[in-house]
Chain A
Amino acid sequence: DTEVTQTPKHLVMGMTNKKSLKCEQHMGHRAMYWYKQKAKKPPELMFVYSYEKLSINESVPSRFSPECPNSSLLNLHLHALQPEDSALYLCASSRLGTGGADTQYFGPGTRLTVL
């Protein structure tokens, strides 16, 4: 099973709203990632969690707040977003401790629209 699930599939929010994106995997992976992807562009890394601890923050604005409650779940809390934050948000996971990098498996993404 190489499935990463994400909810919701679509989200429309106003600039004053607070919402959360959710990601889940049951592959025993201990690394989880958030990416932002604009149309016809490659994914841009936002955050990396390794063993449930934030290991990489790619200078993402504080209106994006990640959370990793346990080894299977990853959340992205959104607050006071801007229209330019509209994008596809992808979650991914991979193994760790395998003597090097391992394959990242992606979820289907959440299509976010900020009005």
Chain B
Amino acid sequence: AQTVTQSQPEMSVQEAETVTLSCTYDTSESDYYLFWYKQPPSRQMILVIRQEAYKQQNATENRFSVNFQKAAKSFSLKISDSQLGDAAMYFCAYRSAHQGNRDDKIIFGKGTRLHILP
């Protein structure tokens, strides 16, 4: 069974600085998707960034980028120029690329609460 581990329950970063959130996962599959979701307090969960395992190039979305190390099964999120609006719970997630009913589910990590210090 696949697992996702986020070893940092909480992190803090100064506004305008850069922070990296860690995520490791375990799977025997070769084809899968990885996601970072952001959930601000009492607000909607939104997709931050997505990575296809077959792509070697790391995904980027504006100030958000990932460091995807497939062999090490590591998928960290880097947030550059941190802003107050980045304060949220961040969930790393895994999803199989195989079609089939039992594969149609996301495996979430436990989350990392990110605080932005003004």
Chain A residues within 8 Å of B, Cβ to Cβ: 31, 40-43, 45, 48, 50, 55-56, 90, 96-97, 99-101, 103-109
Interface footprint category on B: 20 to 34
**Residues B33 and A108 in contact, CB atoms below 8 Å apart:** no
Taking CB atoms, residues of chain A closer than 8 Å to B101 are 48, 50, 55-56
> Which listed residue (A50, A96, A101, A105) contacts B95, Cβ 8 A?
A101
The answer to whether B99 has its CB under 8 Å from any CB of chain A is yes
> Which listed residue (B45, B106, B110, B111) contacts A45, Cβ 8 A?
B106
- CB-CB contacts of B21-33 with A at 8 A, as 1s and 0s? 0000000000111
**Nearest 8 CB-CB pairs, A to B?**
A100-B97, A42-B108, A101-B95, A106-B45, A55-B101, A108-B44, A101-B33, A45-B105
| Bound complex: CA A42 to CA B107 (Å) | 9
**Residues A107 and B97 in contact, CB atoms below 8 Å apart:** no
| Bound complex: CA A55 to CA B100 (Å) | 9
Taking CB atoms, residues of chain A closer than 8 Å to B109 are 42
| Bound complex: CA A99 to CA B46 (Å) | 23
The answer to whether B73 has its CB under 8 Å from any CB of chain A is no
